[in-house]
Amino acid sequence: MTPPDYPYDESLLQWIWQHLEFDTRNLATECGQKVDIVEPGEQNKGAGPDFFGSIIRINGVEVHGDVELHIVPEGWARHGHSSSDSYNRVVLHVVYDYGNSSASAFRPDGTRPPLLVLKPALQKPLRQLLERQGVSSVRCASNLQFINQQAFEQQIEHAHAEYFEYKVQFLLERYKPDLSLPNAWRYLFSAGLFHTLGIPSNRDQMEQLHARAIPAVEELRGIDELANHLMDLAFSTGGGRAIDWTHTGMRPASRPRKRAEQAAGFLHVIYSMPFKTFLDPDLSSWNRVINSLPAPACPGRQMLNILEHTIYLPASYLLGDLLFAHKLKRNAYRRWRSIRGGVPYEVAAPFKRSGFELNRHTRKPGLAHQFKRYCKPGNCHRCEVFKKAITS
């Protein structure tokens, strides 16, 4: 029986799981085993479990497999999963509510997957989550009878160039004219890195941490000392200094403590590295920064790509502009225009769901700009895809 407080179908629950729209910090199975979601998995559009390729840590033991979701535990038996061998790989059974259920889910091999109830971890009303789900795809898709791929590629190329201008302006707004030019540039560069490390929901909080950390950065030259200082600034609750961190929707790698540790590493390297290093027109300074980071402070490959593309390249372009270093400026923009790949799943998914073909011409940061500043706010009148559709 579906709980009366869950009036929607399972697609909403699947979206909630896919985007981790719940508090992931203190999850536990109905048996009290601690659950950490390393990777929620990729949604399965065909027969079989709802998500495959999931990585779940249960009581500290990492398991790889599939995840199946239902509104209530009875959904497992009702859908016949106990007799389908494809469900032997299910490592976690997730339900909205357990209620007074006495049903048990059994894999075809006779074993029971751990059961996780999501309802206590939800921090937003279901109606609000449903509204957010509704704007997570491209609006025009349901209104277009066909998709002009050439127009789509042209639009993404336009959005890609526009995104670079947007990021340059974003960094320029953080320029401090009262500082020396080297320190003013270091400030905007590190502020941009902090902001981006706050993806998806702690951008403002990370910039707040950056502003607090800067006054002492040149005094605390050791990486350990600086890291300890940042952790105190970030998570101390004394003296009304607490930062209001968001924990909902956080994968382990994106949680505030991990990102604060990484931010401390970047801050230390940027302020201790000779400024002339950043003036190399071959743009080798990014690799020097990354290679100087202690291992615990180095983000994963996807985040490194995002930081390099959306912060380092615009910051280098801006530095070239400020110092009339034309080769540095030109090379930074050329590298931006040549970017291929590195598009996070969250950026590509709305377009995939809408039927757009993602290829080497469209898998670039401009795709994110397109969704955030064209598709999501409904700026269809500015989009080449929509223009081509209504004139065809």
* Model pLDDT for residues 273-291, shown as the tens digit of each residue: 999 999 999 999 999 999 9
Instruction: Spell out the residues 6+ positions from residue 372 whose beta carbon is closer than 8 angstroms to its own.
Output: none
Residues 358 and 292 in one domain: yes
Residues 130 and 160 in one domain: no
- Strands annotated E in the chain: 27-28, 34-39, 42-43, 51-58, 61-70, 90-95, 115-117
- Tokens found for residue 1: 């029986």
- Residue 271 scores a pLDDT above 70: yes
Alpha-carbon distances of 159 from 339, 343, 351, rounded to whole Å:
13, 14, 14
Residue range 149-198, pLDDT digits in tens: 888 899 999 999 999 999 999 999 999 999 999 999 999 999 999 999 99
Predicted TM-score (pTM) above 0.75: no
- Residue 135 scores a pLDDT above 80: no
Task: Match 């007799």 to its residue by tokens.
Answer: 83
- Give how many domains the chain has, as a whole number: 2
Domain boundary among 134, 159, 189: 134
Is residue 355 within a helix (H) or strand (E), and if so which, with residue range?
Answer: none
- Tokens found for residue 108: 């075809």
The percentage of the chain sitting over the pLDDT mark of 90, rounded to a whole number, equals 57
Average pLDDT over the chain reads 88
Q: Which is higher by pLDDT, 337 or 141?
A: 337
The percentage of the chain sitting over the pLDDT mark of 70, rounded to a whole number, equals 91
Residues 219 and 270 in one domain: yes
φ, ψ (nearest 5 deg) of residue 35: -120, 125
Residues facing residue 39 across a β-bridge: 55
Q: Nearest Cα to 155, choosing from 351, 311, 346, 353?
A: 351
Residue range 9-23, pLDDT digits in tens: 788 899 899 888 888
Q: What is the pLDDT of residue 222?
A: 82
Q: What is the pLDDT of residue 127?
A: 84
Task: Match 């598709």 to its residue by tokens.
Answer: 375
No. of helices (H) and no. of strands (E), the chain = 15, 7
Do residues 308 and 339 touch, judged by C-beta distance below 8 A?
Answer: no
- Tokens found for residue 313: 């390249």
Residue range 197-230, pLDDT digits in tens: 999 889 999 999 999 999 988 787 688 899 999 9
Helix, strand and coil percent figures for the chain, each rounded to 5 = 55, 10, 35
Residue range 235-267, pLDDT digits in tens: 986 655 778 898 876 778 888 999 999 999 999
Question: Quick check: is 278 in a domain?
Answer: yes
Residues 175 and 263 in one domain: yes
Q: Which is higher by pLDDT, 314 or 101?
A: 314
Q: What is the pLDDT of residue 238?
A: 65
Residues 111 and 151 in one domain: no
Its domain, for residue 369, covers: 143-375
3-state DSSP assignment of residue 138: coil
- CB under 8 A, 24+ apart: contacts of 64-67: 64/91, 65/89, 65/90, 65/91, 65/92, 66/41, 66/90, 66/91, 67/17, 67/40, 67/41, 67/91, 67/92, 67/93, 67/94
Residues 187 and 304 in one domain: yes
Residues 85 and 217 in one domain: no
Residue range 355-387, pLDDT digits in tens: 788 999 999 999 999 988 888 777 777 887 766
pLDDT grade for 113, boundaries at 50, 70 and 90 = very high
- Residue 40 scores a pLDDT above 70: yes
Alpha-carbon distances of 68 from 40, 100, 107, 228, 364, rounded to whole Å:
11, 20, 11, 41, 32
- Residue 316 scores a pLDDT above 70: yes
- Residue 78 scores a pLDDT above 70: yes
Question: Quick check: is 212 in a domain?
Answer: yes
Question: Quick check: is 200 in a domain?
Answer: yes
Mean pLDDT value across residues 25-29: 91
Alpha-carbon distances of 220 from 214, 227, 272, 292, 329, rounded to whole Å:
10, 9, 10, 17, 32
Domain boundary among 134, 157, 188: 134
